[in-house]
Structure 1
Amino acid sequence: MQRFLIQLSLALLGYLSSQSALAQVKSLVWPDNKKAALALTYDDALKTHLDHVLPALDAAGLRGTFYLTIESPFFMRHIPRWKTAADVGHELGNHSLVHPCLGPSVFPERDWVSQSSDLTQYSVERVIRELRLSNEILHSVDGLEQRTFAFPCGDTKTRDGDFADAIQPLFIAARLGGTGFTDLEARRYRLPSLPAETLTGEQLIAYVQQVVSVGGFGSITFHGVGGDYLSVSNDAHQQLLDYLKDNEAVIWVDTLRAIANHLYSGTKPVRNRN
């Protein structure tokens, strides 16, 4: 509970501090007079996304953003299922080719990061090259040119610098996580999101209620649901979906791509392919 309260307090601090910046683009007027917007995002292309999450979202009539790591076997071996997901309105977001993160030389606890996927071995140019290729692969699945990105591990640095600015021509927006973003253009490519792992349904709903109370934008980051890792239970996830369905007149639940298009209206579609 203490961990959740800390997460929730930090997340809300970021949302509250960003309201004046968002007002420069939209005065937080959401479609159909709804009071808030929420993006449900799912990272890494996991088995539980196919087996548990997509059926639950479809049954509730809700859309999610799936941040797909291309090398995941549950992406590569199930492309027809991801195409079906895109066809019914879910977003296939870019989460990189191989999920590169800063490794144990920076964070000793990350002994699971291999040398080949350690960002300390990457250049900015290599990151961009791999993200372009990921976009091409995702385009071959859903036929779309516009999508959002989620930074693996929330990391933005390579051996020769920060790549957060360099990705901007490739995406309409990006989810970073964290809080406290008050500059509108910086925030667009560093959108905050609440980590969902270990939280109960009641705690997830409490977060949504706080987002509604400020009339803002919220995002939740899931990994495993009912299995895999960094997991929440199926019951907690379903409890959240039931709440969102029951309150669909108040809360706009959509893909991060759709919400970003609303927040940053007037932006031309981003062309990823040269």
Structure 2
Amino acid sequence: MLKWKDGKKAVFFLMFDDSAPSAVKTVVPELKKRGMAGTFYVAPGGGPFKAAQKAWDKELPGPGIVYANHTFTHKGATTAEQLDEELAKCNEGVAKCYPGLNQMRLISFGKPGGVPWTVSKEELSAALAKYHLIDRPPFKGYPITIKTTETMLALVDAAPAKGQMGYNVFHGVGGYGWNNFRPPFFSAPLSSASLL
């Protein structure tokens, strides 16, 4: 059995949060141009997703462009009931964008930041299991943990050097969105020989 697809020695995940406008305008076109994959943590009931609904629903989905659950509205969860509704509606929104896929598949989940979140770990675990969601690794990205292009490249290069999984969570890229990565932060991992 292979550890990584096609016998690769490591993997590096490019993750993008919040249905940021730059995903539509910059990120997906660049990934498609390079034949690369990305995971997009979407909130189908939130303003940024709705502002580009046609693109998210019809134009962006395709090979290598994976949508993940970031809750329906990105407004947080203060009760188990609210969490249940947020996860269910987000999964429905994701399913609508990928009608040909088995809807019982595993989907990645990224807890939204900067919003009220008071559900217990046990309540979250139960809800994730109910909706076939897998919690992603802890947030790692600019401007919190990545501050230079060199740091970004070191992160990218570490995965194959160690034969492990690496990842970075992006928000906005190049002036579109929030917690914006400057273009070199985004293009550095795309151009790294480690990802080719």
TM-score between the two structures when normalised by the length of structure 2: 0.83
Report the equivalent of 2:173.
Answer: 225
Q: 1:142 to 1:237 in 2, by over 3 A?
A: same
When Rg is computed on C-alpha atoms for both structures, the one with the higher figure is 1
Report the equivalent of 1:149.
Answer: 109
Mapped contact 2:24–2:60 kept (Cα < 8 A): no
Q: 1:192 to 1:36 in 2, by over 3 A?
A: farther
Q: Which runs of 5+ in 1 are unaligned?
A: 1-25, 102-118, 176-190, 250-274
Give 1:46 shift: 1.1
Please report the RMSD computed on the Cα atoms of aligned residues, expressed in angstroms.
2.4
Give 1:156 shift: 9.6
Q: How many residues of Structure 1 are paired with residues of Structure 2 in the alignment? A: 186
Mapped contact 1:69–1:94 kept (Cα < 8 A): yes
- 1:132-169 deviation per Cα after TM superposition (whole angstroms, max 9, x unaligned): 1111122112123232111112989526x333212123
Partner residue of 1:168 out of 125, 129, 132: 129
Give 1:31 shift: 2.4
State whether structure 2 residue 112 is matched by structure 1 residue 136. Answer: no
Which structure is higher in RCO with an 8 Å CA cutoff and minimum separation 6?
1
How do residues 105-144 of structure 1 correspond to structure 2 at under 5 angstroms? 119=77, 122-143=78-99, 144=101
Mapped contact 2:173–2:181 kept (Cα < 8 A): yes
Report the Cα distance in structure 1 between the residues aligned to 2:185 and 2:16, rounded to whole angstroms.
15
Report the Cα distance in structure 1 between the residues aligned to 2:33 and 2:158, rounded to whole angstroms.
26
Q: Which runs of 5+ in 2 are unaligned?
A: none
Q: 1:89 to 1:61 in 2, by over 3 A?
A: same
One-letter code of the match for 1:230?
A: N
TM-score between the two structures when normalised by the length of structure 1: 0.61
Q: 1:247 to 1:218 in 2, by over 3 A?
A: closer
State whether structure 2 residue 54 is matched by structure 1 residue 80. Answer: yes
One-letter code of the match for 1:45?
A: S
How do residues 228-243 of structure 1 correspond to structure 2 at under 5 angstroms? 228-243=177-192
Partner residue of 1:95 out of 65, 70, 80: 70
